[in-house]
Structure 1
């Protein structure tokens, strides 16, 4: 209760512009996260024609892999993250150079929402691929500009972690509860349209797509009416902004290192997403258990983001980063070892703590070292890294699980060790008054 009380107090005290951005991002995240649950069910339902693809073989790095339904699901889920993450450095840099954030946010939300609505017309697998790709580009337009605004709204470094804690809390609420709402909407369909004066009915799938579209456009309205660009962005318009890889006093730039480490963290979180059927069989559990275990990481983050963000403003960024990656390694590995639903839930909760310890402090550290007007390109390295990891995770587990259930999680744990070593050797404290 203490953490929840502290979080509530911190949210109440936060910059209202940050809260508006966070609310808008929450609404958008609810709509977009619908698809994490809905698209796999939609593909498996037979409403999308995939029969011609199943059983064929594709070549990857000199080897051929049979196309299976889990692989098709993994590709669709991962495509969003790949296009989103790989495009973010370019969209972040463009928003820095133009000195504008709001137009990028609005354009991205509009693209996300429109694509969500068009899923009702998708009856072929390639249509899902095109629409998911469009949503990836929409997210790439939105995310760097939004986090740049959150960073620029901080009056001083001592407020930066708290701002990102508030922002991430709302975003994760949307991401965490979106799949739950999606499951309810799909399960209770079809819906009689007579209640709104129309003939016919709407299937559970189509209702979820319409709800995702509506959520995105509600987010659009909030941003359009209540969010404005900052003077800091405008002053730096036209500046030549580039991503730094080499460090000034060490081998690698600390933000670049955190970007790579965030890739590893994203992979570790997302390995679980593709393995619903395998996890349920292995643990002899009902599907509701998997939904709870999947949401555990997000729920833990919702509770801890604000307290961790405020604490890293007081005690420094680096201690939280180190503690987070130390916890990430065993909490990932043990997901491939535990044999009961309860143990899996505990391990996923611990992984959620690890992510919470890394998220806000890493964004705050990047904001500390970002030069004036470079927030978009600097912070996009971290958002890109996380998105890329989230995209790579389902695809990685979909391929590696055929070698043994523990293999994907062992690979994820190894990546966590590499990330920890990089942070220890390449990232130093940036908060000048850390104690």
Structure 2
């Protein structure tokens, strides 16, 4: 671990361990590179660059398959990678394996000239990121203490969200500004001999994504170390309980948080894939839809860290309950608002609900995770969130045919069940709220 005055000054304003801040910056770079492809891949398929056997699928179905396969494999493999990192008592090597795979697959897109190759590369990319998500969160959890775990989770999630939100904006700009002439390099053969070597916008986007994941790899390599306690307490007997082993409640609290997180992610993802119906219902253009979509992320970016710090002082459960309860009206209202401005406000408050629930849920699960169990336990929540993000669009696409309100009524019902589960099955873990401001810099 590199220990410097610069590191301490950077960490101080965020009130987190310096290594958590370094990991957050690394995930910011990874998030930018990975979210690049959310915009680039559909455009790449539609450009005609990719061909070959389409298996009888339409172009839109191929795009949907490529994008959804990533989330499906990513979420499915997270419990296995998290569990494996617990067994070895190591986090850093798993993160580096994932970042290496992410970098290689970003470059591999340049050579994917068929639909099948594109599907394979995107699938491998999903598996690669599955090595990163649960192990990085486990590392954040182990570098934190009960008194600052929520703040650390909030800062980490904020940086990831900023990267994920900035990536698509940068991707669109990079693709549209291409092709790019490379100075000092000329074509030496063929009809274009003597002309400057050019890189298309798509090629540039894939290179940028690879560079971003490489930067993240370097930051983790240089700045991050595994805590000695994680290695010393490597666990072999790891399992995910459904029933509460203590008998105080019916369901295990971490499993309960996983279910409520799935409901949360499903509710917030309903909006994403019904843009034509939303625009027609509100008589608005795509600009308004973009603003409404961004409103949720905006609230998350600004509130994750303050909410995380607050739950360190006042408890996890009140924030999770308040967030799940607020999710009910803010999801339902999206089906009934009549103006673009109202939809923007409702989406903004839905982002508030998400921020209030997610970071405290991770902190509470982290409190409950035993020594060297963080990878397995936190993977329950990250897997649930990923599956919810995949299930939400599928649900809205299937239900919107029954009326514009149907998807949002469905999401609100899920939020009700999630709120009831948290209220009845999850107990507070922070026994002594922090009476004083949290320390700025964690000890190594």
Among candidates 113, 125, 145, match of residue 103 of structure 2: 113
* Counterparts of residues 18-417 of structure 1 (less than 5 Å): 18-49=20-51, 52=54, 69-154=59-144, 156-194=145-183, 199-247=196-244, 248=246, 249-417=248-416
Q: What is the RMSD of the two structures over their aligned residues, measured on CA atoms?
A: 2.2
Are the counterparts in 2 of residues 78 and 394 from structure 1 also a CA contact under 8 Å?
no
- Offset of residue 101 of structure 1: 0.6
- 1:246-296: CA deviations, max 9, x gaps? 112211101111111111111122222223344344434333333322222
Give, in whole Å, the separation in 2 of the partners of 1:287 and 1:332.
Answer: 21
> TM (normalized to structure 1)?
0.89
Give, in whole Å, the separation in 1 of the partners of 2:162 and 2:35.
Answer: 11
SS at match of 1:193: strand
Give, in whole Å, the separation in 2 of the partners of 1:24 and 1:153.
Answer: 16
Give, in whole Å, the separation in 2 of the partners of 1:252 and 1:175.
Answer: 33
Query: Structure 2: any 5+ residue segments left out of the alignment?
Result: 1-9, 188-195, 435-444
SS at match of 1:334: helix
**Aligned CA distance change for structure 1 residues 195 and 319 (closer, same or farther; 3 Å):** farther
Equivalent pairs counted in the alignment come to 415
**Aligned CA distance change for structure 1 residues 237 and 418 (closer, same or farther; 3 Å):** same
- Offset of residue 229 of structure 1: 0.6
Are the counterparts in 1 of residues 279 and 289 from structure 2 also a CA contact under 8 Å?
yes
- Offset of residue 313 of structure 1: 0.5
Query: Structure 1: any 5+ residue segments left out of the alignment?
Result: 1-7, 57-66
SS at match of 1:194: strand
- Offset of residue 18 of structure 1: 0.4
Give, in whole Å, the separation in 2 of the partners of 1:347 and 1:401.
Answer: 19
Give, in whole Å, the separation in 2 of the partners of 1:258 and 1:201.
Answer: 50
Match of residue 17 from structure 1: 19
- 1:40-98: CA deviations, max 9, x gaps? 33333333348955xx6xxxxxxxxxx65554433322221211111111111110110
SS at match of 1:433: coil
- Offset of residue 11 of structure 1: 4.1
Are the counterparts in 2 of residues 165 and 310 from structure 1 also a CA contact under 8 Å?
yes
Give, in whole Å, the separation in 2 of the partners of 1:329 and 1:256.
Answer: 21
> TM (normalized to structure 2)?
0.87
SS at match of 1:26: helix
SS at match of 1:274: coil
Give, in whole Å, the separation in 1 of the partners of 2:49 and 2:285.
Answer: 25
